Amino acid sequence: MRKIIFVTGNPHKVIEATGILAPLGIEIVQNNCGYPELQEDGLAAIASFGAKWAANKLNCEVMVDDSGIFIEGLSGFPGPYSAYVAKTLGNERIIKLMERESNRNAVFKCVIGYCRPDEEALVFSGEVKGKIAKSIRGNLGFGYDPIFEVDGVTFGEMGDEEKNRISHRCRALVKFATWLKDGK
């Protein structure tokens, strides 16, 4: 089984990644060493920088995940600042911001950054389109899951198996796993 260090402080992301990659013969080991996060508008630049920094610091192959929710009615906000906004505003205030907004379309995006020491990082992206729900629904998942709705159901109402089949993270991880399986 191939072992890859997942540099993240978010155990929920590790659980999702393990559920998706373990059946493909990839063991995920969490390391919470952190990495400097660029202040960029794009997730790919942030994930690429973080992966390269962490690979060189830890001297092993690593992956990082930079994810965000991009809400059309809020001009793409919070985007790459999603983690900060979740901590400071939370889902209730996002719902309040959206109260009079007719355009509730949103895209959840994930970029997996992967790097080996002294090499350039590669990125693998995935996204899923949905809407911001009118209320918080469900207590499963984490972060924005209870307000992100796909086909009438929030991620917070979906079990792990159902969510992992369609999620932005799943789509990025499947691209990454396919690349790894091709002998990389």
Query: Would you list the domain boundaries of the chain?
Result: 2-181
Which of 175, 153, 157, 159 minimizes the C-alpha distance to 15?
A: 159
The single-letter DSSP state of residue 181 is: H
Mean pLDDT of the chain: 93
Q: At what angle do helices 168-181 and 11-21 cross, to 10 degrees?
A: 50
* 152-181 tens-digit pLDDT: 999 999 998 899 889 999 999 999 988 988
**C-alpha closest to that of 21 among 83, 108, 107, 114:** 114
Q: Give catalytic status of residue 66 as yes or no.
A: yes
Position 184 scores a pLDDT of 62
Q: What is the pLDDT of residues 116-153, one digit of tens each?
A: 999 999 999 999 999 999 999 999 988 999 999 999 99
Q: Which of 66, 145, 160, 182 is catalytic?
A: 66
> Token pair of 176, please?
């990454």
Fold of 2-181: Maf protein (3.90.950)
Structure-token pair, residue 130 = 């949905």
pTM: 0.91
* Residues above pLDDT 90, as percent of the chain: 77
